[in-house]
Amino acid sequence: MEVFESLKANLVGKNARIVLPEGEEPRILQATKRLVKETEVIPVLLGNPEKLNLS
């Protein structure tokens, strides 16, 4: 099972937050977008706010 799918399965129905420490990295931003789209998880990105491109 893919790591993301395993994470989704464990968090179903929970009001969970996940902290992503490398919030400026493109892969982390992609994962965050997927989390928001496919789960009810609340992501918390760490990084320089000026460098975070959340659009």
For residue 41, tell me if it sits in a domain: yes
Q: Is residue 52 a part of any domain in this protein?
A: no
Burial class of residue 5, CB neighbours in 10 A (0-12, 13-18, 19+):
exposed
- Please state the domain count of the chain: 1
Supply the pLDDT for residue 54: 58
Q: With respect to residue 30, please indicate whether it lies within any of the assigned structural domains.
A: yes
Per-residue model confidence as pLDDT tens digits over 5-55: 887 788 777 888 889 998 888 888 888 888 888 888 889 999 888 877 655
pLDDT band at 1 (very low <50, low <70, confident <90, very high): low
Which amino acid is located at 52 in the chain?
L
pLDDT of 11 reads 78
Please tell me the pTM assigned to this model. Answer: 0.67
pLDDT at residue 44, rounded to an integer: 92
In a domain, 54, yes or no: no
Residue 51 lies in a domain: no
Is 13 a member of any domain? Answer: yes
- Show the domain range for 40: 3-45
Is residue 53 situated within a structural domain?
Answer: no
